[in-house]
């Protein structure tokens, strides 16, 4: 199967990857210009929705009509399994940082477990 390339999506994925880094590093925290902060926030906050939409578009391009075909179900299952594996792997990688953060905050073990599981299943981020 010859996969079609979407160069414009690839370019925007690169730009939005920088926006994700900017989101997590609070790049313009010291800026006093409100208009700059608003423009900055508006642009970098598009990163996560962009990746969500681009992923959905690229997944839909792999599917065939009618959508209930068995091949489509297999494609979606593989896609979901891959995403869940990546999510769990990265959460395991971040676990030591979360533990250090909870220790520095002097959280109780029970509260730390609660906050970690809440971040894992409900928020989508860990200790920050």
What percent of the chain lies above the pLDDT cut of 70? Answer: 93
Mean pLDDT of 99-111: 82
Residue 128, pLDDT score: 57
Cα distance between residue 49 and residue 104, in whole Å: 32
- Does the model's pTM come out above 0.85? no
Give the tens place of pLDDT for each residue, 10-42: 999 999 999 888 887 777 777 778 888 888 888
Cα distance between residue 126 and residue 39, in whole Å: 27
Cα distance between residue 113 and residue 45, in whole Å: 29
Between 67 and 93, whose confidence is greater? 93
Token pair 């970098």 is at which residue?
44
Number of Cα atoms under 13 Å in the Cβ half of residue 3: 7
| Whether pLDDT at 1 is above 70 | no
Cα distance between residue 46 and residue 29, in whole Å: 18
DSSP result, 30-71:
T---HHHHHHHHHHHTTHHHHHHHHHHHHHHHH--SSTT-HH
């Amino acid at each position: 199967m010859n996969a079609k390339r979407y160069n414009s999506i690839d370019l925007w994925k690169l730009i939005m990857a920088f926006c994700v880094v900017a989101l997590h590093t609070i790049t313009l925290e010291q800026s006093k210009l409100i208009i700059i902060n608003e423009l900055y926030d508006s642009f970098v906050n598009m990163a996560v929705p962009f990746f969500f939409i681009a992923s959905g578009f690229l997944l839909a391009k792999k599917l065939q009509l009618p959508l209930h075909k068995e091949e489509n179900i297999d494609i979606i299952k593989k896609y979901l399994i891959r995403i869940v594996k990546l999510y769990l792997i990265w959460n395991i990688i971040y676990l030591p940082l979360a533990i250090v953060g909870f220790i520095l905050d002097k959280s109780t073990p029970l509260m730390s477990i609660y906050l970690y599981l809440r971040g894992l299943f409900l928020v989508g981020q860990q200790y920050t």
